[in-house]
Structure formats: structure tokens, C-alpha cells
Amino acid sequence: MNVPKKSRTKLIIVIAVAIIVVLLVAYSALTCTRVLVDFSVSFTIGADSRHVEFEVPFLHKYVKVEVSVHSGGSLWTAKILNGDDVLWSHATSQREQTTYSSEWIRLPSGQYNFTFATAGLGSLEAEIKLTSKGGFW
């Protein structure tokens, strides 16, 4: 079968464009934002903490921490750790319905620990969410 040169060139261009589109779609799907950790805490008077392990997926390089206080209030601290090394931390005192959202924190793919702790005379009910992203986002 003898295909004309113009048709062969068009076919090669169409195949190349299709491959590029498939690669871009796959990359976008792999790097779109993902919720890594989503949990609620309900602490009473005194000091208490919650530890959660999480993994930043392949091709992701940023993590955001969101703390939504639903009721109560106290001094709280959030930390991202790699072993004993603190990579990020934030401490504040919040009351009633308040939301804290960090900037995007640059972390390479891998395993990490997240610690949320409170101390004080008040109780605290909150929801904590860690989200990751990569690529175009």
C-alpha cells in the first residue's frame, strides 16, 4: 500500500497531537488537587493532641492546611513533621466559628506526620483538612 507523502505527514501530525493531548490529560489527572487528610476533633479543657500520618502523592509538591473551628475556642498548634523535623507549624488562639487556611507549603512526595494540639481552659470542636496539588494548579 503506497500512501501519498502529504497524507502520511498529516497522519503523523494527528498522532503526535493525540499523544500530546493524552499526556497532558494524564498529567492533569495525576496532579489535580486531592484531600489527603480530613478529620474532626473535639477537645475538652486541658491539653490534648491528635496525630495523623499522610502521604504527598507522586507529582504533587504543595500542601495546604485548613482548620475550621465550629465551636469553642482555645490555643491550638498544627505541625507537619518529617520524623522529628518540623517542616511547618502554626499556632494561634481562635474562638467560635473561624477558619484558618495556610499558604501552599512546598513538600516533596513522601510520608509525613501531621499533629494538631490544643492547650487552654476552653474546649474546641474543629475540622482539619490537608489538601495537596501539583502541576498546573
Question: What count of other Cβ atoms lies within 10 Å of the Cβ of residue 135?
Answer: 15
- Residue 17 DSSP label: H
pLDDT at 94: 73
Q: Give the sign of the dihedral formed by CA 81, CA 86, CA 92, CA 93.
A: positive
pTM for the model: 0.78
Cell numbers for 114: 501531621
pLDDT at 13: 92
Three-state secondary-structure class, residue 12: helix
Cβ-contact 87, 80 below 8 angstroms: yes
Nearest to 100 by CA among 133, 80, 130: 130
Cβ-contact 31, 134 below 8 angstroms: yes
pLDDT at 93: 82
74-86 per-position pLDDT tens digit = 888 999 999 999 9
- Residue ranges of the chain with per-residue pLDDT less than 50: none
